[in-house]
């Protein structure tokens, strides 16, 4: 029996078609459950204009993630778990081929590491600012980009020093996503939102931007200067300049 798959309005990005269909089903279920949610990760950034396509969806929810997983599984035959316990949604891609889209469900907030998200501290889905993207069906909820940037910076910093080539590739992908968000914010003359991410201190968040500014990657520092308030960027630059002076002093004979 053919699976009853929802359709998306055309035009849509062919590369994202399967992801968009899976997200539509997840969002429809969570809306029925009255569960506030937002997409994060690479998929969320792709909806802001990134040309990078991920293998799955990452979504934060305002309820227990394990319970939400079970309710999603019971809500539609399109969902199942793999032998490794991963939740997947079976959809058809743009060309009509069956495709499994991974769906990772997290719950942030509480000031600690998000349930299931490893070392990352994610924002509370019950209160985080949400942005409805216009690239897909009726608007897909993602963390508002001025806050989303913090999650990507965290992810990048957690792996950026790894010597493993595979992890370095992931870190480069995170930098690409960070650049996409920075350009999106700059184009709209928006500033980074620190208050929208109370789970981490502003000092800690600024330290991540400070680290980002040390990376020689196509004008990232200039973009950071456009999306931070002047006084915040001065803090970032001041510390960097002090570090540069220390290097010069240490190098003197």
Per-residue pLDDT of 62-120, as tens digits, reads 999 999 999 999 999 999 999 999 999 999 888 888 999 999 999 887 544 444 556 78
Structure tokens at 28: 């429809």
87-92 and 79-81: which strand pairing? antiparallel
Domain chopping of the chain, boundaries: 1-143, 145-253
pLDDT for the residue numbered 113: 45
Q: Does domain 1-143 have CATH number 3.30.460?
A: yes
Q: Please state, in angstroms and rounded to a whole number, the distance separating the CA atoms of residues 66 and 169.
A: 30
Q: Please state, in angstroms and rounded to a whole number, the distance separating the CA atoms of residues 230 and 244.
A: 21
Residue with tokens 């370095």: 168
- Tens digit of each residue's pLDDT (9 = 90 or more) over 7-25: 444 446 788 899 999 999 9
Q: Are 56 and 102 in contact (CB under 8 A)?
A: yes
- Tens digit of each residue's pLDDT (9 = 90 or more) over 23-74: 999 999 999 999 999 999 999 999 998 888 898 999 999 999 999 999 999 9
pLDDT for the residue numbered 109: 79
pLDDT for the residue numbered 246: 46
How many C-beta neighbours within 10 Å does residue 154 have? 20
**SS3 for 198-242, per residue?**
CCCCHHHHHHHHHHHCCCCCCCHHHHHHHHCCHHHHHHHHHHHHH
Structure tokens at 55: 């293998």
How many C-beta neighbours within 10 Å does residue 197 have? 27
Q: Are 33 and 68 in contact (CB under 8 A)?
A: yes
Residue 241 class from Cβ within 10 Å (0-12 exposed, 13-18 middle, 19+ buried)? exposed
């Amino acid at each position: 029996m053919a699976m009853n798959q929802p359709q998306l309005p055309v035009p849509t990005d062919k590369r994202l078609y399967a992801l968009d269909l899976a997200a539509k089903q997840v969002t429809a279920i969570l809306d029925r459950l009255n569960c506030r949610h937002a997409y994060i990760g690479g998929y969320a950034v792709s909806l802001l204009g990134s040309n990078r396509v991920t293998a799955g969806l990452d979504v934060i929810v305002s309820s227990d993630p394990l319970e939400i997983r079970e309710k999603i599984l019971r809500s539609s035959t399109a969902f199942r778990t793999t032998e490794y316990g991963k939740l997947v949604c079976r959809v058809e891609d743009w060309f009509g081929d069956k495709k499994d889209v991974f769906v990772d469900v997290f719950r942030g907030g509480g000031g600690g590491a998000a349930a299931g998200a490893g070392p990352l501290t994610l924002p509370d889905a019950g209160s985080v600012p949400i942005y409805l993207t216009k690239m897909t069906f009726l608007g897909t909820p993602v963390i508002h980009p001025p806050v989303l940037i913090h999650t990507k910076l965290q992810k990048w910093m957690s792996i950026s020093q790894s010597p493993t080539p595979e992890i370095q590739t992931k870190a480069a992908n995170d930098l690409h996503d960070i650049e996409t968000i920075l350009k999106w914010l700059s184009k709209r003359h928006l500033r980074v939102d620190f208050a929208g991410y109370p789970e981490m201190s502003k000092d800690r968040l600024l330290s991540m931007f400070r680290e980002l500014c040390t990376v020689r990657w196509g004008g990232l520092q200039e973009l950071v200067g456009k999306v931070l308030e002047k006084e915040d960027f001065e803090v970032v630059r001041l510390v960097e300049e002090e570090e540069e002076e220390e290097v010069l002093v240490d190098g003197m004979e």
